Amino acid sequence: MSESAARRIDWSTAEVRDGHLSVDLTGAAEKGWVKHFERVLAMLEHGGAGWGDVRVSKSSIRVVDVQEGAAEDLRHLLEGVLQQLNSDRAGDTDGRSLEGERSDAEPDRRAEADLRLLVEFRSFAGQG
């Protein structure tokens, strides 16, 4: 896979609502990309992180229950998965996109936390 064809996380598209991160991916997904992502993620992810389930489709990544202070670790994990996938260039896909469940508890406090997380995730857009 050429460097220009490598899949990337477009941090400038990051959205956070109720602690749920959504961010777009660039580049074309090869056949099997989603399942390969899930397998690599399972190998790299460790319990006790500051976020819930990571869900992926061909065009985006969604992460539920992201806690403040976890953005850099989550970024490191997701970028690591992409780096491995770009290196491997293989897998099979089912193309499913899963949506996280929203929590309406403490909406004002959560909205403030969402905004802080959003600013932090979008700041990754200028970093390589």
User: CA angle, corner 21, sides to 100 and 42, nearest 5?
Assistant: 70
Per-residue pLDDT tens digits for 68-92: 999 999 999 999 899 888 887 643 3
Q: Which two tokens stand for residue 46?
A: 């460790």
Extents of the domains making up the chain: 14-88
pLDDT for 99 beyond 50: no
Q: Which CATH class is domain 14-88?
A: alpha beta
Cβ(42)–Cβ(54) under 8 Å? no
- Averaged confidence pLDDT in the chain: 80
